[in-house]
Structure 1
Amino acid sequence: MINVALHGAEFFGKHGFYPEEQLLGSKFVVDISADFEPQGALQNDKLADTVNYEHLYELTFAQMQHPRKLIETLCQAIIEDIVKHYPYVAIVTVTIKKLNPPLRGKVDHSSVTITYNKPGNGI
């Protein structure tokens, strides 16, 4: 099993339940982890034989452009894009952290984590 991951990818997005959150926007940090069995001969040193972390970033960037009320919805959309483009992934975990959420006191971040397990992968 191979794991390809992005840690601490930063984005600006207009996600949040309240109208002012969707108007003003906020900073988000995204972590993505994708586990899969090798698709080709890795000794060939070809990008097509793995999950391209640059592509993971671009898929996430595209989803961050569409405001959503729930971080859960955003997280699920990112996972769906990854599974669509890399149908051989067995497990995908996405964590989205919303920095400085608008609460009464100081909070570093709130977060949502969703893990996808491909049906039949035995995990």
Structure 2
Amino acid sequence: MTDVYTITLKNCAFFARHGVYAEEEFLGQRFFVDAELEVAAGSALENDDIDGTVDYGIAFKVIEETVMSSRRFLIEALALAIAKELCQRFGQIRRAKIAVRKPSAPVPGILDYVQVSVEHFN
């Protein structure tokens, strides 16, 4: 069995324009992304080699580019797009669990945020 480890990026914050309503596109709002990446270790850990692992600085950029690239109506679709992009960029990722939080969701009530989580397996 191959050794695995987990990289977690918590509370990556972006200002974007996702959502169903025209006001959400016009006004924009903050979104927060958590990424939990299960990574096959290979020899990277034994050799202390950044080239054989997931560079979390680049992973953050992949998340940012996906969030900022185009408007999505559903945060579920956004989460899946992030997971797929990360898995495509880094072949070592075996599972990407992505959570997207939307604090200013247009809900007729008081809440901290709406969150959706998606898991994608590579």
TM more than 0.5 = yes
SS in 2 for 1:67: coil
Matched positions, count: 118
| Aligned residue in 1 for 2:30 | 27
| Aligned residue in 1 for 2:54 | 51
The answer to whether the aligner puts 1:72 opposite 2:92 as a matched pair is no
CA-to-aligned-CA distance 1:36-93 (integer Å, 9 cap, x gap):
2213242332211211111111011101112111111111111111111112211110
| Aligned residue in 2 for 1:5 | 8
CA RMSD of aligned residues (A): 1.2
2-structure distance, mates of 1:43, 1:27:
39
1-structure distance, mates of 2:74, 2:55:
27
Runs of 4+ that moved beyond 6 A: none
* 8 Å contact kept, 1:13–1:28: yes
Query: Would the alpha carbon gap of residues 10 and 41 (structure 1) be closer, same or farther in structure 2, given more than 3 Å must change?
Result: closer
| Aligned residue in 2 for 1:111 | 115
1-structure distance, mates of 2:47, 2:93:
20
* 8 Å contact kept, 1:97–1:111: yes
The CA deviation at 1:18 is 0.5
CA-to-aligned-CA distance 1:15-35 (integer Å, 9 cap, x gap):
000111011111111100111
